[in-house]
Amino acid sequence: MALGSRVVAILSDGFESPDIILGDAIPIPCANESELVRTLRSRRLDGLLLPLGARAVRNVEILRRLWHEGQLTVAIVADMRPKDRVAASQLMELLLLGMDVRPALRLKDVESLRIELQRLPTRGTPTAREFLLSSLAPLVPIELTEILVVACVLGGVRRSAAEFSASLSIGRSALRTILSTHGLPTPTGMLGLIAGFHLAYHSSVLDMSLVEASRWAQFDSEDAFRNYLKARTGIGPRGWKKLGIRASLQIVLDRLRLSHPTSVHNSAS
């Protein structure tokens, strides 16, 4: 996927093989705050690529400071690796500030990064995942941050409990126990909730038909998607579509045992 003439700043020390990920885009490595500030002032950027994790603590603090000073206005593509609790917490921290952060969870390759970079610099309507993560960010307890972030990033399309647990480096039975201890749905139930919300969002915001939404979720037919959702959430595609964004978000929050402030409730339409 070529990125054409997109200009992307990279805030990282020794970012690995940017040419592999960025395609034809113009990468501008920024090793420190002063370099990034100069770049923000002198170049018209389409976005910022930020690898998250333990090595990014200083960089996250830089972005926080620039955001509060009004110097950071571009979208951030967050490069995340599986099994990284620090990265999940950093993502939620940036979302809480109101930044336009687009998580890209690397699984077997860098395709997720390519997809998010190709979307730059478009802001427009947030994706269902971005909307859901932003809604959950103020509410998720620290001990569940990594699990819920991975569920939201993986979910929406057809996923298995095995993929979910592998992305967390937690055995399936152990993951089920953790969720049960907190009164949460099973791993498959959680993924079903995320998929149901995506359907409601896509049908309401993007005007997708149920057939289109099923294909987007990587199901061969609406019937297959119906069976998946009914088994995991008790609500079929037509039910999720009828709920709309506000009611479907409320169902997700209720089943995840999260209460939310009025501002989040009113932001859904």
Tell me, what's the pLDDT at 24?
54
pTM: 0.80
Tell me, what's the pLDDT at 249?
95
- H helices of 143-182, in order, are 145-154, 161-168, 172-181
| 105, β-bridge pairs | 80
The CATH class given to the 7-124 domain equals alpha beta
Tell me, what's the pLDDT at 4?
52
Same fold, 7-124 and 142-267: no
CB 150 within 8 A of CB 168: yes
Residue 4, SS3 per DSSP = coil
Distance CA 137, CA 58 (A): 21
Distances (CA, A) of 20 to 3, 77, 81: 12, 16, 17
Query: Which residue ranges make up each domain of the chain?
Result: 7-124, 142-267
Token pair for 10: 């990279």
- Write out the chain's pLDDT in tens, 269 residues: 344 567 888 876 555 545 445 555 667 777 788 888 888 888 888 888 888 998 888 889 999 999 999 988 888 999 888 888 899 999 999 999 989 999 988 876 677 877 787 777 766 678 899 899 999 989 999 889 999 999 998 889 999 999 999 888 889 999 999 999 999 999 999 999 999 999 999 999 999 999 999 999 999 999 999 999 999 999 999 999 999 999 999 999 999 998 654 433 334 43
With both helix axes pointing from N to C terminus, report the angle between 187-205 and 128-136 in degrees, rounded to the nearest 10: 120
Distance CA 23, CA 20 (A): 6
Secondary structure string (H, E, C) spanning 195-259:
HHHHHHHHHHHCCCCHHHHHHHCCCCCHHHHHHHHHHHHCCCHHHHHHHHHHHHHHHHHHHCCCC
- Topology of the domain covering 142-267: Arc Repressor Mutant, subunit A (1.10.10)
Tell me, what's the pLDDT at 14?
52
Token pair for 219: 């199901």
How long, in residues, is the chain? 269
| 49, β-bridge pairs | 10, 77
